[in-house]
Amino acid sequence: MRHDHSSTISRREFLAASSTAVLASGLVNPAIAESSSAPKLALHGGEKTVKQSAKLPIRWGEPERERLNAMLGQDSLFYWKGPQTALLLERFKKVCPVKYAMPCSSGTAALHIAVAAAGIGPGDEVITSPITDIGTVIGVIYQQGVPVFADLGTSTYNLDPADVERRITPKTRAIIAVHLCGNPCDMRALKALADKHGLVLIEDAAQAWGARYRDEPIGTIGHIVCFSLQNTKHITCGDGGVVGSNDERFGPLLQRFGDKGFDRLSGGLFESFATNYRMSEPQAAVAAAQLERLEGIVSTRARLGNLLTEKLAGIPGVLPHQVDVRDRCNYWFYMFRLKPDGFRCDRAEFVKALSAEGVPASAGYIPVPLHRNPVFLKHGFFAGRWPVREFGLTSMDYSKHETPEAEAILRTGVKITIHEAMTDQYIASVAEAIRKVARHYTV
């Protein structure tokens, strides 16, 4: 695959060049030249490989209705001492055994609470991934911290600990490890770095509900963990989040940093400053019911994603999504990469051909690494300005910030939807379609 469109040979040009000699010999009928080598692509009028689309998952129903009905019988819908919130936290702690947890309005809110509790302040650097939702760094920037983007593993799409270490400076205060697609980061290496340099390790588990690092539930190795309950996540209440911690330095601060700085346990005067990120009882009711569905959703997705990897093995030019066999990835989505120059088509055509075969495929995830977005390039976070740079607390220039592997991942990744209503047979047909398209375009 080539990145430069001007140098990409079109399929027609390639076929013309490569088959001229054979056709000239008179040995092959031009009409069947293509079909004699490989099955005809659906894109070119051939038979579709994935004949039936997958059923959509049923995401909510009676259990959620039951909890909502109970909630409507209450005389308060406020989170503090609310029975739905209490149930949500009880069930959450079974999935992610932490001593302290605060339900909140989004994953972005959970991350903001985490960095505030971690004490991130003006000019403090926080190292994280450039391939993530912008919510990973919104809180850092609001605390006047400086996101520093490190490069990623070629096929894990997660932080490369060696590159994280290279980017540590005396100003570094924290690492936010994003478990992209629910694929656990190399937590042992990141924790060792955090311990060595005295950094707070925050886990962005927005996409990682129910994932496991080795034998540990995700979120129990870092100091603070953040989950999202936004609509596209494995479990949801429309919008919501949970932030948790086992650490006595940060755990007791989570509630107040989600609740305008007010410590509801001790009452009293404001000791800290924060915004309002509270979740309410209707959201908690739905989220509590959703947690009962989690294991079923995650175990199915983990099986299907691993099956796809197994079936893609050995296809020239296709680099499967890399997951450590000791971990459990929940495949929020699956992404394989096309090897540069492995195919005589560009990624857009590869994806078009896959879609025509009936595969739920799209090009990449986000269009560019976070720091390639205009708001970063212009350093224009607050009314077009960035106080920490203006006051000399950072010299960060995002237009010069390089993460070459992340750029390459976003140029060559092909995203495949995986969900819990899919079957093993369906995934097998998806793999067959990928093999067919790859074979057609292979160099």
Ligand X SMILES: Cc1ncc(COP(=O)(O)O)c(C=O)c1O
Are 278 and 105 in contact, with CB atoms under 8 Å apart? yes
Which residue, 279 or 318, is less far from ligand X as judged by CB?
279
Look at the block and give the residue holding tokens 């979120």: 219
Which residue, 133 or 357, is less far from ligand X as judged by CB?
133
Closest CA to 368 of 412, 411, 402: 411
CA distance 200 to 337: 32
Which residue, 14 or 142, is less far from ligand X as judged by CB?
142
Please report, as ranges, the residues that interact with ligand X according to CB under 6 A: 106-108, 132-133, 135-136, 178, 204, 206-207, 228, 230, 241
Q: Looking at this protein, which amino acid is placed at residue 144? A: Q
Residue 373 C-beta: closest distance to ligand X, Å: 15
DSSP 172-215: EEEEEEE-GGG----HHHHHHHHHHHT-EEEEE-TT-TT-EETT
CA distance 341 to 348: 14
Residue 129 C-beta: closest distance to ligand X, Å: 8
Residue 207 C-beta: closest distance to ligand X, Å: 5
Residue 373, class by beta-carbon neighbours within 10 Å (0-12 exposed, 13-18 middle, 19+ buried)?
middle
Which residue, 145 or 241, is less far from ligand X as judged by CB?
241
Look at the block and give the residue holding tokens 């592997």: 405
404 CB neighbour count, 10 Å cutoff: 10
Residue 176 C-beta: closest distance to ligand X, Å: 9
Residue 230 C-beta: closest distance to ligand X, Å: 4
Which residue, 147 or 342, is less far from ligand X as judged by CB?
147
Which residue, 132 or 144, is less far from ligand X as judged by CB?
132
CA distance 423 to 321: 19
Residue 178 C-beta: closest distance to ligand X, Å: 5
Using Cβ positions, the residue closest to ligand X within the complex turns out to be 107
